[in-house]
Amino acid sequence: MNHTAVAFLKSGLVTAVGASARASCAAIRAKLSNPSETHFKSTDGNRIIAHLADFNEPQRGLARLASMAAMAIEEALDGISKSEWLHIPMILCVAELHRPGRLDGLDDQLFLEIQARLGGQFAQQSAVVTAGRVGVAIALNQARGLVNAVECQRVLVVAADSFIMWATLNFYDREDRLLTEENPNGFIPGEGAGALLVGRNSGLPGELICAGIGFASEAATVDSGQPLRGDGLTEAMTTALAHASWDLAESSCYRIADTSGEQYHFKEASLALSRAVRHRKQDFELWHPAECMGEAGTATALACLVVAYVAAKEQYAPARHTIIHFGNDDGERAVILTYRT
């Protein structure tokens, strides 16, 4: 793994609470949300609540994902000519292969559909990562490798995802994981897309730098029934801290996570922090964008990075250092560390 730092340069974000990174992040900062009833019904006969992105014309399936991704990319690449896109790889993050209700064509058609909507092409090193939320960290690590190998000056990391499909909603409803009046220990499904342009650190003040990335696996998954100790997230956090050579006991820091309402994930986050950082001198404030945009898989994970970038850029982040972490239902965990110069 290449541990050389890269900087976050520009961003784009489309969520249920905003059609741009600035609008979405302002709503997330203010803890605003916009859930609405869908036409899907749960097993108890009530309509399922979800966070829906706002479109002028109804779109479904791959077309909807491609539209959201194209909007986010246009924002992140604003001011960069399409002729330059040929030298910028796009690493597209999509749902994991075993996601219930996963759309056909995510692995091959979505990338092409996005390019067609944008009317441009990306560099030959472009790729698709099919690893869910953790895929965002995998993509960022690949981007670091490309930048530091001097293959590309800039790389675009993109994510597009939605939980608002009947097969997906039906599965999580039957697993009793959706937030309802009868079930407070659940999440509200959502959808969205994000884009983050990364490149070499210029050394200018105020840049947000990716300092370390760690990966691990958790045996006590959300549906395993095993006692949760947070081993996987602790290992990923410890690895990322070692790569960044950070001592958080001596640093100001806050956290951003993909936690979306289920108690399991909040407990895991607390356990991992207490085990990875044993001599805390402060509380590590926790932000979780999913409370505003809903559980949107890879899009929620990338939104965490965009929130960190915008908070640093607009100087309202509560600390210079950020711990950002994600997890898939199958136990895969990832931690990204960033800091503002």
Once rounded to an integer, what is the mean pLDDT over residues 220-235? 93
With cut-offs at 50, 70 and 90, classify the pLDDT of residue 120: very high
Task: Please report the pLDDT score of residue 2 as a whole number.
Answer: 40
Task: Please report the pLDDT score of residue 150 as a whole number.
Answer: 77
CB distance 308 to 318 below 8 Å: no
For the cut 70, the answer to whether the pLDDT of residue 1 exceeds it is: no
Residue for token pair 């505003």: 292
Q: pLDDT digits over 10-38, tens only? A: 999 999 999 999 999 999 999 999 899 99
Domain 208-340: which topology?
Answer: Peroxisomal Thiolase; Chain A, domain 1 (3.40.47)
Once rounded to an integer, what is the mean pLDDT over residues 124-136? 97
Torsion angle of the four alpha carbons 209, 239, 217, 172, in this order, in degrees rounded to the nearest 10: -30
Bridge-based pairing of strands 127-129 and 90-93 is parallel
Once rounded to an integer, what is the mean pLDDT over residues 317-330? 95
Task: Please report the pLDDT score of residue 280 as a whole number.
Answer: 60
For the cut 90, the answer to whether the pLDDT of residue 186 exceeds it is: yes
**Cross-strand bridge partners of residue 161:** 192
Residues in the chain: 341
Tell me the one-letter amino acid at 49: I
For the cut 90, the answer to whether the pLDDT of residue 213 exceeds it is: yes
**CATH superfamily of the domain spanning 6-199:** Thiolase/Chalcone synthase (3.40.47.10)
For the cut 70, the answer to whether the pLDDT of residue 145 exceeds it is: yes
CB-CB neighbours of 87 under 10 Å:
14
Helix intervals (H) in the chain: 21-29, 61-76, 82-85, 109-118, 134-148, 166-174, 231-244, 263-276, 290-293, 298-313
Shared fold status for 6-199 and 208-340: yes
Task: Please report the pLDDT score of residue 115 as a whole number.
Answer: 98
Q: Where are the domains of the chain?
A: 6-199, 208-340
CA–CA gap between residue 255 and residue 326 (Å, rounded)? 11
Burial class (CB in 10 A: 0-12, 13-18, 19+), 104: exposed
First to last CA, the chain: 23
Average pLDDT, the chain: 93
Task: Please report the pLDDT score of residue 32 as a whole number.
Answer: 96
Task: Please report the pLDDT score of residue 58 as a whole number.
Answer: 76
Tokens standing for residue 326: 């994600």
Once rounded to an integer, what is the mean pLDDT over residues 198-223? 92
Task: Please report the pLDDT score of residue 274 as a whole number.
Answer: 87
Q: Residues 229-241, buried b or exposed e (16+ Cβ, 10 A)?
A: bbbbbbbbbbbbb
- Greater confidence (337 vs 4) lies with 337
Q: pLDDT digits over 255-294, tens only? A: 999 999 999 999 999 999 888 877 665 678 999 999 999 9
Interaxial angle between packed helices 21-29 and 61-76, expressed in degrees from 0 to 180 and rounded to the nearest 10: 90
CA angle 71, 76, 80 (to 5 degrees): 110
Task: Please report the pLDDT score of residue 282 as a whole number.
Answer: 62
Task: Please report the pLDDT score of residue 304 as a whole number.
Answer: 98
CA–CA gap between residue 242 and residue 222 (Å, rounded)? 27
- Greater confidence (319 vs 281) lies with 319
With cut-offs at 50, 70 and 90, classify the pLDDT of residue 3: very low
With cut-offs at 50, 70 and 90, classify the pLDDT of residue 182: confident
With cut-offs at 50, 70 and 90, classify the pLDDT of residue 308: very high
